[in-house]
Amino acid sequence: MPHPYSTFKTLSIALAFTAASGFQCALAVESDAKPNPWAFNLSLYTWLPGANGNFSAGPLSKSVDVNFIDIVGKLSNFPMAFNGRLEAHYERFGFFLDGNYMDMDFKPRFDGGISKGLSSQLGIMDYGATYRLFGPTAAELGTSRDGKARSNVLEAYVGGRTIWLDNQIQYGYSASASGSRSFTAPLLGGRIMVNFSPDWFGMVDGNFGGFGAGNVSFTGGLLGMAGYRTSLFGLPTSIEAGYKALRVNAGKGNLEANATLNGPFIGLTGYW
């Protein structure tokens, strides 16, 4: 007959093992239920801006004033552009990288027998860190269409804007000048997202910077858009359309750009 102490010892070990197993299972369930704090989104968009301002290279300068409707008729080619934005979020903190590249080749004009032409390549890269002041985190918003109402979001960000400029100007058939340079300046901004329904939302994003740093006296941007959430190939996505304006006052000496670019855009964003 087994000793009572041995029986009690065996039962105690079994109960302890069962309790430990149950505790580990509970931790595993809790760990599985905990949402991933990371969230990412990638946007690809087409921006069709008009241009208003002055571009200079060396001793020559050229003023332009075309809107997004007639810009194709006043350009030698369609304005080639590449635009995209990547965001990474961890809880309430985030990082963004937003790039724009435009190649604008304006037709020469003949005024009093003088030929004038302008070719300008403009690259703009925005980057920085964000903090969500109000509303759920990007991970809490979820990456699936659950049909639930979403709270509004307010974010502030700080970062930089790097502007790459290449101007080529021609007067007549003998006078010409060209130059290229990059400028970097600090940037401050914020954006607010308003959710009208589980599927429809609107967003306004505004920023400004320059402050004389890096030969950038001022640069600022304003974006307003409406979006619709859907899915594409099983990936949560949104389709956006809106209007974007960008002001650049950069350069010194033999290379300057003092211009405003503004026009409509349409984009597609994927979330994961």
The CATH architecture annotation of domain 37-271 reads Beta Barrel (2.40)
- Measured CA to CA, the distance from residue 74 to residue 269 in angstroms comes to 32
- Per-residue pLDDT tens digits for 18-49: 444 444 444 444 445 567 899 999 999 988 88
Residue with the larger pLDDT of the pair 43 and 74: 43
Residue with the larger pLDDT of the pair 19 and 257: 257
Q: Which two tokens stand for residue 14?
A: 């079994």
Span of 87-96, 112-121, 203-212, 213-222 with lowest mean pLDDT: 112-121
Closest CA to 241 of 263, 261, 270, 208: 263
Nearest-5° angle of CA 131, CA 134, CA 138? 65
Write down the pLDDT at residue 3. 47
| 114-134/153-171 β-pairing | antiparallel
Confidence of residue 172 (pLDDT cuts 50, 70, 90): low
What mean pLDDT is reported for the chain?
78
* 164-195: burial string, b at 16+ Cβ within 10 Å, e else: bbbbbbbbeeeeebebebebbbbbebbbbbeb
All structural domains of the chain with their residue ranges: 1-34, 37-271
Q: With a cut of 60, say whether residue 114 has pLDDT above it.
A: no
Write down the pLDDT at residue 177. 64
Helix or strand or coil: residue 178?
strand
Write down the pLDDT at residue 82. 72
Confidence of residue 184 (pLDDT cuts 50, 70, 90): very high
Range with top average pLDDT, 3-12, 62-71, 133-142, 176-185: 133-142
Task: Give me the mean pLDDT over the 198-223 stretch.
Answer: 94
Phi, psi of 15 (to 5 degrees): -65, -40
Write down the pLDDT at residue 12. 46
Write down the pLDDT at residue 149. 66
